[in-house]
A and B are shown apart, each in its own frame.
Chain A
């Protein structure tokens, strides 16, 4: 189908520009903020001379554009470089652990680190999205169908409560009540998929208000569209109008929310929640990398997160144009 090809080629090209810009921004900012990664690698005991030598050997003293060009050259071959601080065996190395354990040749490749962490995060994010849709779609649709009545008010109160719960607080409370006191679910680390349930639930609570709100608004505004009343006069039942037509039309704003807000929110919250649950996903990897000034890891995760966001948006827009052919993206 020519339209699909046209669409994807055009949007991929636009997406690539965005990704390059974001990469440039992250790369520059990381090198402008205070804190020398060499210090973190070698520890406070290493002499200034050694530090300077290492930095030069690693290319950290080159002008930023030169460093960026080199980096891009690597990235296009699929090589995101090696971690500054982690050894290939998985443990953190470097000054933070004391001693001269830093071994430049034995550092872990960033891609490997990320690929190990990604499945865990995907499981967590998928579970969170699923739970959140399970909670919010019935509530949101009911609210939209009975706008102004009790389901609408229930949806409003629930979303207000959900939105005002700080995720880190909720995480701690749930760990304490469900895991420590109740012993119902495991909470810290990861051994099997049940370890993902509690953090996913926290994420779902955070996502739900957005879904509830947009589902109820989309459904109620579609119920007021003339074609709904006209359909019933044409001889179709109200139930059929809702199931076949209103829900279909209401999908479009929901998809947009999913693409733009939900995925962004999810990416942001993953960092906090994985840290709180010590869950071994990309978020935890990222948080640790930030603490340790592990530039290659931070850059790679930022670029991949940006790529993911761009891809999800392209897919969402493609789905939307297929539901409503009037849309032109």
Chain B
């Protein structure tokens, strides 16, 4: 693979420092690397290892308080750092393209995407005619398999999903046929299914356009899928450079070995990582939450009709029971209705139809005092640890607030309870008097947990509560949740897109697609013997280095879920299902039992899908 020709890009002893009021801190410390023509070099490291700084330095985008202090970045022998601004400008976009991790903010929100890509093309290649530029953009949009490319040329950025927008940015980068593409964490904000599509697409395009790619990611599984060689970054230093297989089989540096060992595993049992304590399987457990045929529709403006409204069917007839002491995971792609469902279950909104029984009382219709009283029993924890806490209140006061709202306690009692719950969630009691400013994301999430726990709830709804935290902090909070469950018998509802986490902590899993639950089953069944092709597709797309029971080649989905405004008749998954047949177009499969406590909504749930490929070292239930 590696040619003997001179590399396109050579980085020599690059050092970047963070200028602070005190001593400068090195963010990158004498990093060197080579990228050859047509090579894909993976760069891997945790958050804070300097990956993004490195990838931005390669397009000479290092702004204060960061500063490149020494080293060379040679593009075909020319040092970017010494280049006049004019020359750098013409190199960017034309020869070196960069794609960042957030495609939704990379373009001007008020202009159609096609026009913006054309604008770039014309500014990089001044001679090109409008006609030719437009043609080339549409052709490239076709190449990334954008459906109806010519029509979408005139659409605005907000009309694209994250995955489609990332395709647009790939078009923007490749339309000038650059020699080198820096892809900085481009799959990070995307759903696993979409990330897998993008990865596959990039691999194909790389072969067609023969562009060298620098692929930066924090997930080894992701880099594994595309790169030839991998550079491992730790604390700003390049600690190891190896072929991608070498990294997995024979990691040299201690940090790399640690990285490979700590990769979250789904199928291969990693005993020390498994938390889930399957709840006692007796049948006489109390049903704490019973959701019966709940639906919610949102109306939005339809620009194409006079006074027109469109109806987004966010939640469509969802039913399930949660037993006391369960940990139920609700998973699905973005837009599947997970978060709408969490808003209904926490009664931030009332459902249009259906009942939500919390300990036998229907919270869908309850109002006023009675509702407030019942609310103590179920609490919601949100994703964003920054905006969910008022910044002007002391931490003790924030945690005491629910007690004050619900009333009936003296000041001393409140103080006592707050102190107790703070120590339980691992917040030092000195923090009670201080403001939340300066708390880390993890500590803020603990404040949120304490604020919910102070009411002694029986059910906690966790809507992506841990998604904003890094791996280490996540693990700590999961341990805390487990301890709280042991001690207080709390029931959890994890709403998450992180299948690895759900595998670790949930004893039951509900998979949502287009506002419906398509599969509801125990943990082992879901991950090893799922009864719905959508579940299998999700699992096949998880970036992993393990051997998996569902092959991506059989299950990987094309495209995105259909628009929840016009849902086709029959099975709503049939438009993307690799096994769809005649009956799927007419008969909508209902959630039916396949085993004890396992349900799936598929005509083939009883058989007809390929058997799962047994993985090495699996623990079949």
Q: List chain A positions with a Cβ less than 8 A from chain B.
A: 2-3, 5-6, 9-10, 225-227, 229-237, 240, 244-245, 248-249, 323-326, 328
Contact = CB atoms under 8 A, between A and B. Distances in A.
A326 to B, nearest CB: 5
A46 B125 CA distance: 87
Q: 8 closest A-B pairs (Cβ-Cβ)?
A: A235-B93, A226-B105, A230-B106, A245-B108, A3-B303, A324-B110, A235-B92, A235-B124
A2 B308 CA distance: 10
Contacts of A244: 119
A240 B306 contact: no
Given A235-B89, A236-B123, A325 B158 contact: yes
B109 A249 contact: yes
A256 to B, nearest CB: 15
B61 A2 contact: no
Contact of B108 (A2, A9, A227, A237): A227
A284 B93 CA distance: 61
Contacts of A232: 61, 89, 92
Interface in B111-152: 111, 119-120, 123-124
A227 B110 CA distance: 11
Interface string B313-344: 00000000000000000000000000000000
Nearest to A245: B108
Interface residues of B, number: 35
B106 A227 contact: yes
A328 B299 CA distance: 13
Given A236-B120, A249-B109, A324-B110, A5 B306 contact: yes
A2 B102 contact: no
B99 to A, nearest CB: 9
B105 A234 contact: no
A248 B108 contact: yes
B304 A2 contact: yes
Nearest to B125: A235
Contacts of B111: 245, 248
Nearest to A322: B110
Contacts of A249: 108-110
A248 B307 CA distance: 29
Contact of B306 (A2, A229, A235, A245): A2
Residue among A10, A225, A240, A326 with the highest chain B CB neighbour number at 10 A:
A326
B307 A235 contact: no
A233 to B, nearest CB: 5
A90 to B, nearest CB: 48
A324 to B, nearest CB: 5
A237 B87 CA distance: 12
12 contacts: A6-B307, A9-B306, A9-B307, A225-B105, A226-B106, A229-B61, A234-B98, A236-B119, A240-B123, A244-B119, A245-B111, A249-B109
Contacts of A236: 93, 119-120, 123
Interface string B86-109: 000110111001101010011111
B305 interface: yes
A249 B105 CA distance: 14
B93 A2 contact: no
B121 to A, nearest CB: 9
Contacts of B179: none
Nearest to B306: A6
B191 interface: no
A3 to B, nearest CB: 5
B109 to A, nearest CB: 6
A234 B123 CA distance: 10
Contacts of B61: 229, 232-233
A27 B228 CA distance: 81
A240 B108 CA distance: 12
Contacts of A245: 108, 111
A323 B119 contact: no
A183 B306 CA distance: 59
Nearest to B63: A229
